[in-house]
Structure 1
């Protein structure tokens, strides 16, 4: 790896050498990059070094530290595979593991995670990388080519937004060098933090991007621009400013364009993603494979895809051996690859999607390829799998989409139709699970103010399946098939584990909140009669601890309940001797 030159800001370049360290600390104190870090971890410039290959050239801002493993992964993933032959400008995105033992999420990201849709949460274990690669002929360079990438590293899975951001920053950098990156970083440092549910104006290099940050209550697939929402004024914009570029979504890719070549298999693909089956997407460019992987992951929204996925994956990735060994079954992961080498290395994988070099108009028919055809992966596009779907196809939506191709219906409309259909199927699948989960809640009348909050009853798959006759997916979906078999397979997937753990935690928090509400309504002055001092002190300490925990865990507790609990605590403190009162009031 080449030496990395860290650049913090233009001001640092003006520091005297002898006072550099002292002045750098002062500037860091003045410019903590807090708001920048809400959106972006860092911006990396990756170049081609004749001796080292792909190498990290610069990291902005300079105080950001990446591990050697993170730098290596970013460098190798920042360029299209050598077999891709991408000339000109290429944009794509990647997802890499954060090195173990490093810092978790910022407090701003934790607050964001509490209000955003679960499938858009910042993940403490992963970074997203948004790449803008340029390769052009340049006779002045030893290899005869200029090859360089600008990579935006972020915790946020805002694919659409950061693709747009990189398309503004990278060309400026290629034309004008480092000062444009510094200017972009300072613009981003003025952005308001991403607050779910709010619309933000984001000034960047003389442009303004306007976007809505999705919240829990946001409807899946509904364009932000179509619905009014609270606007957050960003910093004053320097004149002149062009009209803002309104982004319909911060995270969605053009779903129909991705699935057009395999649209007749859309229900099979939905089942594979729902049950977190291992999938390889093979395409000729990182743009195509990364968009396809992202489209697959978003198929089951608002359910979160809880297995691993790599929109772009190469043989140099640090997890290459882990994911390609034939010693055990492939792990639950979706990989996007471009190197033909993977066609042989991953032949043992159960599900492979091969995308043709030229995006399909939808008129081509890519048939399902069964086992024996796997050797044709090099050239034949299609879906290769042994999987037998549990559900039948919904021919109505397929006919509507195919007719849309014939009548040249706009791609955005086709995407909206497809996304709405997938949402309906996912919701039909999840509603019975949500109903059953709610039935595991203890009755509110059984919650005592003087006892610990009860826990939900255990989830029993057989009990749940027994409810499907009266409250199954057939109530909301016309799709026929073996829904029971699909649920059983889903129960073995990380998607079920992720959903269940999240819902169990939410139910537990609700029960704790209900117990605290009951305690706030209780007559503690009456309860304290006849109690020993140690019992009263224990109750005070328990209330105080629960109030503190409710803040940390963000329990759904109203300010009225919190204030009532403080009053109840004050009431029983008054019943204690003066020495204990003094200790409890100061502790």
Structure 2
């Protein structure tokens, strides 16, 4: 999910030989536009719908839409049975209580379900290991590129591989929100084609997934290009793409590789690759391999973000400085130099064994869209918390004593401000307890009751 909502297509193509066509075959495609949180569900739906769609076209989609329209609303923490085209998809809707490093939740009993359901262990998480198989040796480099919001072109052999690789890349920063643009399947027909291919300005912070080799020639000026070869058999580890200089990216038949001049700030964790290779040798299931890889990326991101969270928390004014009848104090500004100095005692080295130039990585991160997105969100949350604490301070004070020497204008102003905060709090924009909300409503009634009748009529809702 692209400050902004990002959507991307999931595609399934069918080619049929046809000598009457210049290209030698006739091709049909079915594209579903899916929001990232439900990508696995849409993949399963696509695999069921596509074969029927190619034969029956619109009537097939109408029937499927009618069935999907009857599905219950997704509720976090629940497991749903979703019938479609004679099949039952059983899915668990994740909740905030689910731990990222834990295994998939247990599914419901199948006893009363005919036919037996197709169980999806996740509605949103891709098979990360399968997606990253050809680039396992460079996962940490790709993680840095994503963290820094670097423009990246992914050239894949099919729309499915393109979409999955782009979505895997954008999900590897969890729990940090991905704040850049991304297009899982981009074509020359997209409206931004001219914008992305122009050489008069630097490439934007976007991850593009494409299948047309024409982009190799058109986007030679991009700093990072990942070309993926044809998928290999599930039991084999495909040949790892090699790091190559961008200057070698000249022809349409460019070989698979990661074409970049980027030098990583952090040293590669060789133990991760050895562990994954050992898992392949022991024929460890792909979902277990994915769990290992996802946990590694999660811990790496958390080690990077925790010092930022700790420093940001120190910018919050002390609760004792919040008084009822004065404007609440401001959040202290984020000083990059102060933060970098704090890393000596509270940096990533406390939670991560990976060595490298962490300070250089943070300095580069400060210029990325992800720092701006993270900071804006945290500052907004802290401002809401500060406003909630101020409302609590007001509700704990003696309102009648405050009103004794106040003019009607000041009293009316208090009523309006309390109402505004009450509306925001009730809309879940402020983290306020229910007891505080009740006290605020009582305060409003008390204050209005102290005013002349004409003002009471104006302030009381009809």
Q: Same fold (TM over 0.5)?
A: yes
Instruction: Name whichever of 402-411 and 415-424 sits farther off.
Output: 402-411
Counterpart for residue 165 of structure 2: 292
| 1:210–1:246 contact (8 Å) kept in structure 2 | yes
Q: Distance between the aligned counterparts of 1:464 and 1:284, measured in 2?
A: 44
Aligned to 1:571: 446
Q: Is the 8 A contact 2:243 2:257 kept in 1?
A: yes
Asked if 1:402 corresponds to 2:277, the answer is: yes
Tell me by how many angstroms 1:376 deviates.
6.4
- 2: CA distance, partners of 1:315 / 1:177: 25
Aligned length: 458
- Contact 1:128–1:157 (CA under 8 A) maintained in structure 2: no
Name structure 1 gaps, 5 residues minimum.
Answer: 1-120, 232-238
Secondary structure of 2:166's match?
helix
Q: CA deviation digits over 1:121-140, x for unaligned, max 9?
A: 48865443333333334799
Q: Choose the corresponding residue for 1:319, options 183, 192, 201.
A: 192
Structure 2: distance between partners of 1:393 and 1:124:
32
Q: Distance in 2 between matches of 1:122 and 1:215?
A: 20
Choose which of 246, 255, 259 in structure 1 pairs with 2:132: 259
In 2: Cα distance, 1:125 partner to 1:263 partner: 29
Name stretches of at least 5 consecutive residues in structure 2 with no aligned partner.
none
CA drift of 1:263 comes to 1.2
Pick aligned residue for 1:198 from 53, 57, 78? 78
Q: Which residue of 2 aligns with 1:249?
A: 122
What is the CA-CA distance between 1:154 and the residue it aligns to? 4.3
Describe the superposition over 1:278-328 as per-residue Cα deviations: whole angstroms up to 9, x where unpaired: 111112211212111111111111111111111111222211111111112
1:131-190 Cα deviation digits (max 9, x unpaired): 333333479999986543333334454211101112222333334454432222222222
Deviation track 1:354-378 (CA, whole Å, cap 9, x = no partner) reads 1122437325243211244333672
| 2:93 corresponds to 1:213 | yes
- The CA distance in 2 between the partners of 1:220 and 1:136, in whole Å, is 42
SS of structure 1 residue aligned to 2:81: strand
TM-score (norm 1): 0.73
* CA distance in structure 2 between the aligned counterparts of 1:222 and 1:149, rounded to whole angstroms: 37
> How far apart, CA to CA, are the structure 2 residues paired with 1:319 and 1:569?
52
Contact 2:8 2:183 in 1 (8 A): no
Residues in 2 aligned to 1:132 and 1:221: alpha-carbon distance in whole angstroms? 31
Bigger drift between 138-147 and 308-317 goes to 138-147
1:490 Cα deviation after fit: 0.6
Cα pair 1:161 1:251 within 8 Å, conserved: yes
Q: 1:446 to 1:152 in 2, by over 3 A?
A: same
For 1:341 and 1:391, how far apart are their aligned partners in 2? 33
1:343 corresponds to 2:192: no
Q: Is the contact between residue 123 and residue 155 of structure 1 (CA under 8 Å) also seen in structure 2?
A: no
Pick closer, same or farther for the CA change 1:122–1:184 going to 2, 3 Å.
farther
Equivalent in the alignment of 1:304: 177
CA distance in 2, matches of 1:547, 1:213: 32
1:453 aligns with 2:347: no
Contact 2:11 2:31 in 1 (8 A): yes
2:307 matches 1:432: yes
Shift of 1:580: 2.5
Q: Distance in 2 between matches of 1:377 and 1:482?
A: 36
Q: Distance in 2 between matches of 1:546 and 1:346?
A: 50
- Paired residue for 1:526? 401
Distance, in Å, in 1 between the alignment partners of 2:366 and 2:446 is 49
> How far 1:527 moved relative to its partner?
1.2
Give the Cα–Cα distance (whole angstroms) in 2 for the partners of residues 260 and 568 of structure 1.
Answer: 62
Q: Are residues 138 and 367 of structure 1, via their aligned partners in 2, closer, same or farther at CA, if it must alter by over 3 Å?
A: closer
Q: Does 1:584 align with 2:459?
A: yes
1:432-484 deviation digits (Å, cap 9, x = unpaired): 00111111111111112223333311111111111101110000000000000
Number of the residue aligned with 2:151 = 278
| Partner in structure 1 of residue 411 of structure 2 | 536
- Over the aligned positions, Cα root-mean-square deviation in angstroms equals 2.6
Deviates more, 1:212-221 or 1:158-167: 212-221
Alignment of structure 1 residues 401-550 onto 2, 5 Å = 401-550=276-425
Structure 1 Cα separation of the partners of residues 238 and 317 of structure 2: 54
Please say if 1:148 is aligned against 2:28.
yes
2:290 alignment partner, SS class: helix
**Aligned 1:5-16 pairs, distance under 5 A:** none
CA distance in 1, matches of 2:352, 2:249: 34
Measured in 2, the distance between the counterparts of 1:334 and 1:445 equals: 46
> How far 1:429 sits from its partner (Å)?
0.3
Q: Aligned match of 2:39 in 141, 159, 162?
A: 159
CA distance in 2, matches of 1:293, 1:249: 18
Preserved contact between residue 198 and residue 212 of structure 1 (Cα < 8 Å) = yes
Structure 2 vs 1, CA of residues 179 and 342 (structure 1 numbering), >3 Å: closer, same or farther? closer
Distance change >3 Å, CA 226–CA 489, structure 1 → 2? farther
CA distance in structure 1 between the aligned counterparts of 2:132 and 2:347, rounded to whole angstroms: 29
